[in-house]
Structure 1
């Protein structure tokens, strides 16, 4: 009986302790949620009910790739200022765009820590410290100068010619080619170009399957990071260890690949290639004398390949989708390109390319409609600033402010008929006065703005321009026949925000993932189908 009584006392003690823990946890939740609902400085802003209490809705929509769609939906319902998290406010105006991303009163928020795969090692994208970022970015900018772009273009065009030749090889005279998934084709090209530009060597994804795991690995890694970026505290639970084993396996293949290409690049010496790493390898901070440590080089390499290739690949796939759905735009662009360049080998940056204003308008319109980074870019109001004023609203320090490029790019105030592919909106004409074009330009930020804006913007435009111009010059193309030709479209019976057949469907995971369009090609009369590589 004595043992039974002792066990009973222990059970009661454990039960009582458990009840106390549950009670204290419930009390804490009640206090926290009451504060967030009624007393938080953000309680004055309207927004979805659950957003007052937790970032879980952001994480959920990020997993599904629909955060940009839900952001647009909430702004359409609640207006230009919306509370989308306990400590987060989203804006949708041109003035907010410029304030948030150019103000000295904000810094990158702690969600960027989710990108850090080696503790304490930061790339120019993930680093929060402004002084460290300034040094890293200065070096990267040297490697992306106008002169450097001109030096790199011949090697880039050889890879683009390979892209053209692969399609041409599948074409028979006066016949349509088999189907091409342009997401795959553009991603392989994008990675090859960035590897060549960054390290002086191509991965040869276009012709070899050896490293084709890379785009899928990047996609899955971005999915995980996107969730933690929007719900930072969730990263502590490390749920990806349980739910994303394939992503981790592919990540473990990327890391040695990054280490290998960086080590090989170091081994051949600084001046072996006029690539980006030529500027990075021996760069020193003038104040500290420190350069890039080896792990930092790995991180910069990973950033260059993933972010650089995704931006161009998404834009190229999107533009090919829209041209195949808007035949008048396709015809107008083909007339411009074929009239500007007598021979396909003449297509490169320069005076003739700069005069192709409809090409640039088409690229900008694809970036607007289906940009590569459609989600909400978050910034934290920096400590010691006393807060920031955005569109007349005071946001205290420590809270987060953001804006989705998809939301502002589909704001009818800046872009009439926002879901129509209309390159003419970027060109001044009697029907489209200069004031309207300038208004649209001020609200256009596919590469973000300010000191943290995309460093590779000029290179992306050069690559996309050359690829699209050569493709349009060499081929006629149209959607594939049958159901496969509809891949990439919205579905009339699809989920909210995905019901427009003429909108290229992207899934937002920091960068955009997508499938299609599936196209078939036919050689243009007079094109032999074999370019120099």
Structure 2
């Protein structure tokens, strides 16, 4: 086997294995979830043992798979309904990114708090996606600027004042608004628990109900977990569904294969299961290939070298340095992915498979700090796309569909019209694809 790609894999794996002599320092992460309350989410715990204990608790808090699938399936059907409704209201055209953002926030709010934001049916919370986007833009810039301790302290102070609104510092105002939302959701969940009494034996489970009963977190840490889960629990789902639709529109043969596979199941009204959705191997390959080309977290995941430094590919990196691997770059390494700029789902189904494809594939990060909701995210993406491809014929809506996501982002593709253009502010944000949908199957 060609080992020319091994150094690149070594860099990524060196940084994200449990034994790596690195930690999440304040240079980039100091503002991400601490906020005015000063709590820490699981992503911000530097000590590996403490992180492991908190992570195990979070893993246990995720509701049973059967309940999660039932909720996701119901929300996926609502996504189909709102997609058709939005298309009918806008000349037959719908922005997939907008509809899937409502869906993704409904999914994570149901799983995390036991109560949906209900964005797919009401307007009350539809301000949240833009709020999160603006907050991410602020934290992205402040995170890099905050490498200096005094700047970090300044940004912490700023978010505790009314100066952002007085200065019309929009992104900082949205960061404050998002922090308030995260705290409010925790408070609301606690109030519902008090009104319901002991819900330990309830037939329905949710993450924060479990965490509150465990009584391990203080209120500040719960708020930080809330901030993390709302953002991280929605980003990959909304972004990757839209990206998959985009690439399928760009590649008619792949689209035809995915549609044929989905419609071959010929299901009745109540016959869908997680296992049947998971059996759609080509659909899964389409999603993975979309995440390879357009990962929801495209940039680097910085780590700071601890005392004693670290050796990466024979290079000694001293203590206190910021080191990272770019997911976007790694996913397009020609030594690992042949024809790296082409959307080719078949690469994930070829046998014998090259293990480097999976070793370098990091949309959910690798190692002990990988995304705890990866399995849930895949269920949400696959189930939503199953219903959309099963019930609609989806076609491009002119120049703003399969070629570019929107006119304002056209330049971002840098001439590669087959790329899904987006902005990377900690997580990816975009518009489109704009599509026309025609129902081919009546709703059940």
Distance 1:508 1:170, change over 3 A: closer
Query: Which residue, 277, 281, 286 being the options, matches 2:208?
Result: 277
Alignment match, 1:296: 221
What is the deviation of 1:262?
A: 1.8
Alignment match, 2:272: 347
Secondary structure, counterpart of 2:435 in structure 1: strand
What is the deviation of 1:125?
A: 1.6
| Number of residue equivalences | 420
* Superposed counterparts of 1:82-97, under 5 Å: 93-97=8-12
CA distance in 2, matches of 1:160, 1:304: 20
What is the deviation of 1:237?
A: 5.1
C-alpha RMSD over aligned residues: 2.6
Secondary structure, counterpart of 1:93 in structure 2: helix
Query: Which residue, 208, 211, 231 being the options, matches 2:125?
Result: 211
Alignment match, 1:360: 284
Secondary structure, counterpart of 1:377 in structure 2: coil
CA distance in 2, matches of 1:267, 1:154: 25
Secondary structure, counterpart of 2:383 in structure 1: helix
1:406 correspondence with 2:328: yes
Bigger CA radius of gyration: 1
Alignment match, 1:455: 372
| Cα displacement string for residues 232-257 of structure 1 (whole angstroms, at most 9, x for unaligned residues) | 22545548966772223333433443
> Given that residues 263 and 390 in structure 2 are in contact (C-alpha distance below 8 angstroms), is that contact kept between their aligned partners in structure 1?
yes
Alignment match, 2:48: 130
CA distance in 2, matches of 1:170, 1:483: 16
Alignment match, 2:196: none
* Superposed counterparts of 1:93-172, under 5 Å: 93-102=8-17, 103-110=19-26, 111-115=28-32, 116-144=34-62, 148-169=64-85
Query: Which residue, 441, 448, 451 being the options, matches 2:358?
Result: 441
1:265 correspondence with 2:181: no
CA distance in 2, matches of 1:180, 1:325: 17
Alignment match, 1:62: none
Secondary structure, counterpart of 2:398 in structure 1: coil
Distance 1:378 1:226, change over 3 A: same
1:477 correspondence with 2:411: no
* Superposed counterparts of 1:357-396, under 5 Å: 357-383=281-307, 386-396=308-318
What is the deviation of 1:295?
A: 2.1
Secondary structure, counterpart of 1:471 in structure 2: helix
Secondary structure, counterpart of 1:376 in structure 2: coil
Alignment match, 1:14: none
User: Which stretches in structure 2 are left out of the alignment for 5+ residues?
Assistant: 194-198
| Cα displacement string for residues 248-302 of structure 1 (whole angstroms, at most 9, x for unaligned residues) | 3333433443333322222232435411113211225xxxxxx111222122112
TM-score with structure 2 length normalisation? Answer: 0.87
CA distance in 1, matches of 2:209, 2:333: 42
CA distance in 2, matches of 1:407, 1:443: 10
Alignment match, 2:173: 249
CA distance in 2, matches of 1:150, 1:315: 23
Name which of structure 1's ranges 392-401 and 271-280 shifts more when overlaid on structure 2: 271-280
1:198 correspondence with 2:112: yes
Secondary structure, counterpart of 2:395 in structure 1: strand
